[in-house]
């Protein structure tokens, strides 16, 4: 990563920004917005927190751009600011997890636990906010872009101490050198190497054997389309048998911010029959993509409004041609961030 850009347009915008031109600054950093926000999301496990980190990053970058001397690349400089903004947020906010890590599975015959009001849960990330390609990462990156945004990977990262998290992301996802990471974190290359080894051990213990990207490639477009259309059709027809037939035997269904979750085909079928897909319910699904995985906007029919209204963003985690996890993020405000409609007419 060369310190100075050989792009005349970037050099021109940099000069304008350093002279106090806010419009030049906006155009200068625009190509980096997507990857910087994805970086903050990996660090924080939350779209909301990532947006807060981005606001702080851009404010600090604007205040510091006049002092940028080009000893590192503009991209490295921005990542240093974004990383440290994220680290400051981590100090003030609780670790985020998924319900499976929060407690044991629930009995589907019991009442579903009340939503937890504190910011406890990992949140989904819209694929459309990711950069269009992987060119931003160097060849030294260990993980591809969408692999490094998968739900299981993000959840595993949240178990790392903050500095180990930053080291692993900067080295293995972004491909920065040990020296660059050490400079960004104001430590030594030896400390970076030590933190990286410890981070690898923790993440490898928590990640599944196969990434979702590898699974999706093995399925191919036709195989994935078969799963997605089957899921949508079964859910909208309240066909519990057809839906359960798509599940792995040990599948899980989670519903953050509710702590309750269910393990196994029988438990999930019972929950669907008595609650989510009870005969009185009607649903519509709008396909989307989140965390590099197939996802849907789930809309529930609300008779008083005579519309299907936003209910949750649902992610599917696949194992072979079976659904191994359904994660339903029950949060209507997320729909706007995914560019999904605020309701569907009958």
Residues 291, 151 contacting (CB under 8 angstroms):
yes
Residues 133, 102 contacting (CB under 8 angstroms):
no
Q: Where do the domains of the chain lie, and which CATH numbers do they carry?
A: 1-93 (1.10.1740.10), 217-345 (3.10.450.50)
- From residue 20, alpha-carbon distances to 2, 63, 105 in Å are 25, 10, 56
**How far apart are the C-alpha atoms of 171 and 138, rounded to whole Å?**
10
**How far apart are the C-alpha atoms of 158 and 153, rounded to whole Å?**
9
pTM: 0.94
- pLDDT values of the chain reduced to their tens digit, one per residue, 346 residues: 334 567 899 999 999 999 999 999 999 999 999 999 999 999 999 999 999 999 999 999 999 999 999 989 999 999 999 999 999 999 998 889 999 999 999 999 998 888 886 668 999 999 999 987 655 556 678 898 899 999 999 999 999 999 999 999 999 999 999 999 999 999 999 999 999 999 999 999 999 999 999 999 999 999 999 999 999 999 999 999 999 999 999 999 999 999 999 999 999 999 999 999 999 999 999 999 999 999 999 999 999 999 999 999 999 999 999 999 999 999 999 999 999 999 999 8
């Amino acid at each position: 990563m060369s310190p100075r850009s050989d792009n005349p347009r970037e050099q021109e915008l940099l000069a304008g920004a350093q002279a106090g031109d806010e419009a030049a600054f906006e155009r200068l950093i625009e190509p980096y917005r997507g990857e910087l926000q994805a970086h903050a999301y990996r660090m924080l496990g939350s779209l909301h927190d990532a947006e807060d980190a981005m606001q702080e990053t851009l404010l600090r970058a604007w205040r510091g751009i006049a002092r940028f001397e080009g000893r590192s690349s503009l991209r490295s400089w921005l990542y240093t600011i974004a990383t440290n903004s994220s680290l400051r947020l981590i100090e003030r906010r609780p670790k985020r997890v998924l319900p499976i890590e929060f407690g044991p599975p629930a009995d589907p015959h019991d009442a579903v636990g009340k939503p937890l009001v504190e910011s406890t849960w990992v949140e989904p990330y819209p694929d459309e906010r990711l950069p269009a390609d992987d060119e931003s990462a160097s060849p030294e990156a260990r993980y591809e872009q969408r692999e490094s945004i998968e739900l299981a990977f993000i959840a595993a990262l949240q178990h790392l101490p903050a500095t180990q998290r930053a080291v692993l992301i900067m080295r293995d996802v972004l491909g920065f050198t040990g020296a660059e990471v050490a400079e960004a974190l104001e430590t030594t290359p030896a400390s970076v190497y030590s933190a990286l080894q410890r981070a690898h051990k923790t993440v490898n213990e928590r990640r599944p054997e196969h990434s979702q990207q590898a699974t999706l490639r093995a399925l191919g477009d036709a195989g994935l389309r078969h799963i997605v259309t089957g899921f949508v059709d079964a859910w909208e027809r309240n066909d519990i048998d057809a839906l359960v037939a798509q599940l792995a035997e040990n599948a899980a269904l989670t519903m953050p911010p509710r702590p309750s979750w269910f393990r196994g085909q029988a438990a999930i079928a019972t929950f669907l029959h008595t609650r989510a897909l009870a005969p009185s319910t009607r649903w519509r699904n709008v396909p989307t993509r989140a965390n590099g995985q197939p996802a849907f906007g789930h809309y529930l029919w609300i008779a008083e409004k005579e519309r299907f209204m936003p209910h949750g963003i649902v992610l599917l985690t696949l194992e072979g041609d079976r659904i191994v996890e359904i994660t339903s993020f029950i949060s209507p405000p997320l729909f706007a961030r995914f560019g999904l409609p605020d309701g569907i007419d009958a």
